[in-house]
Structure 1
Amino acid sequence: MAFIKINTRGALAAAALTLIGGMASAQVSSFSTPPQGSVWNTMATVISGQARESGGGRFVVQPYGGNAQMMQAVNDKLAEFSLNDVNDVITAVSGTGEYTMSMPELRVVARINPFPVGLYVKESSGMTSVADLAGKSVPSGWDAFPIARAHISAILAAGGLTWDDVKQVPVPELIRGSDDMASGRVDSAFFALGGPKVAEVDASVGGVRFLTVEANDDTLAAIQKVRPAFYFADIEPAPVRVGVKEPMAFVTWDNVLVAGAHVSDDQVKALMAVIFDQRDAIAGAYPPLGAINLETAYKAYPGVDYHPGAIAFFEERGVTMAPAN
């Protein structure tokens, strides 16, 4: 995979959504995210907005084309923070999987929330389970968002399918994939539960539904062959969970806050104070962030290190590291 080099932070900031607050003298930090409309972009915008309102810092939210670019921005000191699947952070640090070079400057700050993902379809399609996609089209390729390849592989496995059982239709990234499903170019789309884009498509096509998977010991083993930190989460229908028509299991990972090794301890601790002390306000702005929990935020992961500022924050709050799954 080729990595896009970014010329200057100023050029990126000019194209970004700028969220400015707090004291004029406060240092500006930046979040690297996927494109606007994605879940991580929404989460970063909400957290940054709360930091502004509570005096916790000044932020720029910088959208990129995909995970590789946003991780590289943090590794190369062009951004301070990001939000990502812990599996992708592990592979980025090691330079394995979709990454052809290691990114040793990435540090975990905190487990933010569980992150259920799925394949969804138009409700009019009549499909209700991933198994129903046999012979149907599924978005593939993902050149600008390669993390989706592993996620969809796991979802298909949980439905008893492989890529050979479906028709592969190339799409570049998340937003385009959902647009292509809405237009009829592909039968299904991939997205995280709670994504604003899912709600947009739901309104435009007369309803969507996420496809169910089989959650049992065999399928758990199958998804963990793809990524060892994957697990199943049971999800109940709720107004904010567009496309969830009944209680169902989702392939899930831990979503983590990431910082660069160059970020100061004080910057990390200030952002963590906003996230955990202003949790209710953050969840009010974006309900999926209601899962933020200080007591479960410090968890061991293989192959990645915590930022020293995060370690100090957890020690000051009396939180000990939980073992990996």
Structure 2
Amino acid sequence: MRIFRSICLATAFVAGFGASVQAQVMSFSTPPQGSVWNTMATVIAGEARDSGAMALVVQPYGGNAQMMQAVNDQLAEFSLNDVNDVITAVEGSGEYRMAMPNLRVVARINPFPVGLYVKESSGMTAVADLKGRSVPSGWDAFPIARSHISAILAAGGLSWDDVKQVPVPELIRGSDDMASGRVDSAFFAVGGPKVAEVDASVGGVRYLSVEANDETLARIQEVRPAFYFTEVTPAPVRVGVAEPMQFVTWDNVLLAGAHVPDEKIEQLLTVVFDQKDAIGEAYPPLRALNLDTAYKAYPGVEYHPGAKAFFEARGIEMSPAG
């Protein structure tokens, strides 16, 4: 209800003001509605309007490349993303054909566990069980998924050659195709609203387990050096997690364009960390917000000067990468 209210308020805000006020509206670029980043941005933007008097709305795009381009090209001010994807976007490597030098990290938001999930009725419980079964591939509109699924398969002792590849364009479509039976598994972040929707429609889903040890850690870090493992325990919001499980994880970060004024960065960070209880209540995965761990060094990317000023004023020192 809180999320729906935030979306409605954002729409009313933009529609109800004249052109001179609209010019002052800032935006979050996100993937399509139903994705975890879109949900997180909606909650943060709603709190920024309610308690921070910020004119902040959410603008969905088709995928990561588009939403990063929007921030880099000053079409949006903020976004949320996997730090690995931000690094490759800044470099112009991987799926990014052109460097995006105007992206700046603002804060580490939370660890972001991801996995492959299946229908409960499939009988599969581990990623290794996918050998010879179908896995979503392609991801033309959401290319970040290619590296994540590569890492998940590696953590299960598999490669793309061990599975049947079924092309899907993006996250929501991938889950819909799994629900319809077109593909045996789907990829999504733990706690994603879409996973709960599919769970209700197919009579139950479960995430597939991986082996978390030094050998598999080395495998996933060959794919992306910032990947690591975390244990996730069952909770109502974590649909598909039936027992404590290890997941491939990365750091989810808040980022901004270099064009965003320092005071706007500090204003948003003040909302994020001073109102973290309200934000976590609206979307439980954001209960992981922690000021003490939010200022972390990453290779190949810079922090926005406004973020540096905010953390220095709060007495928070930058923690090393790793």
Letter in 2 for 1:88: D
Q: Deviations over 1:168-211 (max 9, x none)?
A: 00000000000000000000000000000000000000000000
In 2, the alpha carbon distance for the partners of 1:203 and 1:74 equals: 35
Residue 288 of structure 2 is aligned to residue 291 of structure 1: yes
User: 1:216 corresponds to which residue?
Assistant: 213
State the aligned residue count. Answer: 308
Equivalent positions of 1:68-147 (< 5 A) are 68-147=65-144
User: 1:242 corresponds to which residue?
Assistant: 239
4+ long deviations beyond 2 Å: 16-21, 24-27
Structure 2 counterpart SS, 1:252: strand
Q: Deviations over 1:215-274 (max 9, x none)?
A: 000000000000000000001111110000111100000000010000000111111001
CA shift in 2, pair 1:221/1:33, >3 Å:
same
In 1, the alpha carbon distance for the partners of 2:144 and 2:233 equals: 26
Structure 1 residue 84 displacement after superposition: 0.1
Letter in 1 for 2:11: T
Determine if contact 2:29/2:70 at 8 Å carries over to the other structure. yes
Structure 1 counterpart SS, 2:11: strand
In 2, the alpha carbon distance for the partners of 1:286 and 1:58 equals: 21
Identity of aligned residues (%): 80
Letter in 2 for 1:114: P
Structure 1 residue 58 displacement after superposition: 1.3
Residue 197 of structure 2 is aligned to residue 200 of structure 1: yes
Determine if contact 1:20/1:59 at 8 Å carries over to the other structure. no
Q: 1:44 aligns with which of 15, 27, 41?
A: 41
Structure 1 residue 17 displacement after superposition: 5.6
User: 2:150 corresponds to which residue?
Assistant: 153
In 1, the alpha carbon distance for the partners of 2:212 and 2:57 equals: 39
Structure 1 residue 53 displacement after superposition: 1.0
Letter in 1 for 2:60: P
TM superposition score normalised by structure 1: 0.93
In 1, the alpha carbon distance for the partners of 2:11 and 2:104 equals: 24
In 2, the alpha carbon distance for the partners of 1:56 and 1:308 equals: 22
Structure 2 counterpart SS, 1:18: helix
Residue 300 of structure 2 is aligned to residue 307 of structure 1: no
Structure 1 residue 18 displacement after superposition: 3.3
In 2, the alpha carbon distance for the partners of 1:270 and 1:51 equals: 9
Structure 1 unaligned spans of 5+: 1-15
In 2, the alpha carbon distance for the partners of 1:55 and 1:127 equals: 46
User: 1:272 corresponds to which residue?
Assistant: 269
Structure 1 residue 19 displacement after superposition: 6.9
Determine if contact 1:56/1:270 at 8 Å carries over to the other structure. no
Q: 1:188 aligns with which of 182, 185, 188?
A: 185
Residue 170 of structure 2 is aligned to residue 177 of structure 1: no
Structure 2 counterpart SS, 1:45: helix
User: 2:5 corresponds to which residue?
Assistant: none
Determine if contact 2:52/2:268 at 8 Å carries over to the other structure. no
Q: Deviations over 1:275-318 (max 9, x none)?
A: 00000000000000000000000000000000000000000000
Residue 14 of structure 2 is aligned to residue 18 of structure 1: no
Letter in 2 for 1:18: T
User: 1:225 corresponds to which residue?
Assistant: 222
Determine if contact 2:52/2:267 at 8 Å carries over to the other structure. no
Structure 1 residue 20 displacement after superposition: 3.7
In 2, the alpha carbon distance for the partners of 1:295 and 1:246 equals: 29
Structure 1 counterpart SS, 2:188: strand
CA shift in 2, pair 1:86/1:19, >3 Å:
farther
In 1, the alpha carbon distance for the partners of 2:52 and 2:256 equals: 20
Structure 1 residue 56 displacement after superposition: 3.7
Determine if contact 2:64/2:143 at 8 Å carries over to the other structure. yes
In 1, the alpha carbon distance for the partners of 2:206 and 2:140 equals: 26
Determine if contact 2:26/2:76 at 8 Å carries over to the other structure. yes
Residue 51 of structure 2 is aligned to residue 54 of structure 1: yes
In 1, the alpha carbon distance for the partners of 2:313 and 2:117 equals: 42
Determine if contact 1:112/1:297 at 8 Å carries over to the other structure. yes
